[in-house]
């Protein structure tokens, strides 16, 4: 048995993440009220926690830093596009803002989850061939998520603010 392989987990341990993702997709499939003025809170918390984690255990020099930067940029790119796919509407009378995730945005999240699972399985079997630690890979996926969440929220906040201004007659 490979010492780097995970212990045999029961089937339910693999189903829990799928159930959570299913619940997130169902929640995001409905239109929800969007509080534009509060959209910065989630990314600020995520950035703070990520910063604390990286200070406690910095990435390894060279390849680890490059991988982290690439993951953050890729997450930002994917997040910006996920935000663009999100439908945002403004009620002309009340100026209430609602958002609804698109099927493409939800598929993007599923694809990232599948990619993460595949890379993790490959990395556990071939850690020495990759010349990096599992911590570096974990940090990279964490930064991918940070970039995804922050860029999604930024794109949505900018677009929602513009739509509210237009609804109030302030133009672009």
> Residue 48 and residue 14: Cα distance in Å, rounded?
29
pTM over 0.85: no
Cα distances (Å, whole numbers) of residue 115 to 2, 41, 120, 148, 153: 22, 28, 8, 14, 22
> Residue 54 and residue 52: Cα distance in Å, rounded?
6
How confident is the prediction along the chain (172 residues), in pLDDT tens digits per residue?
444 445 566 777 667 777 877 787 777 777 889 898 999 999 999 999 999 988 888 887 788 888 899 999 999 999 999 999 999 999 988 889 999 888 888 788 788 878 877 877 787 777 677 777 777 888 888 899 899 999 999 999 999 999 999 988 866 5
Going from N- to C-terminal start, the domains of the chain cover 37-124+132-167
């Amino acid at each position: 048995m490979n010492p780097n392989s995970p212990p045999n987990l029961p089937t339910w341990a693999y189903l829990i993440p799928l159930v959570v993702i299913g619940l997130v997709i169902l929640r995001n499939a409905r239109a929800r009220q969007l509080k534009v003025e509060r959209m910065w809170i989630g990314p600020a918390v995520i950035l703070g926690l990520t910063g604390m984690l990286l200070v406690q255990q910095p990435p390894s020099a060279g390849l680890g830093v490059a991988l982290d930067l690439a993951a953050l940029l890729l997450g930002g790119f994917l997040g910006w596009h996920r935000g663009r796919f999100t439908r945002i509407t403004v009620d002309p009378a009340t100026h209430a803002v609602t958002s609804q995730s698109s099927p493409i945005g939800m598929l993007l999240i599923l694809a990232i989850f599948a990619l993460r699972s595949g890379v993790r399985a490959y990395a556990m079997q071939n850690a020495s061939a990759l010349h990096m630690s599992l911590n570096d890979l974990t940090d990279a996926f964490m930064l991918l998520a940070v970039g995804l969440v922050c860029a999604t929220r930024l794109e949505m906040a900018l677009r929602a603010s513009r739509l509210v201004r237009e609804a109030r007659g302030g133009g672009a």
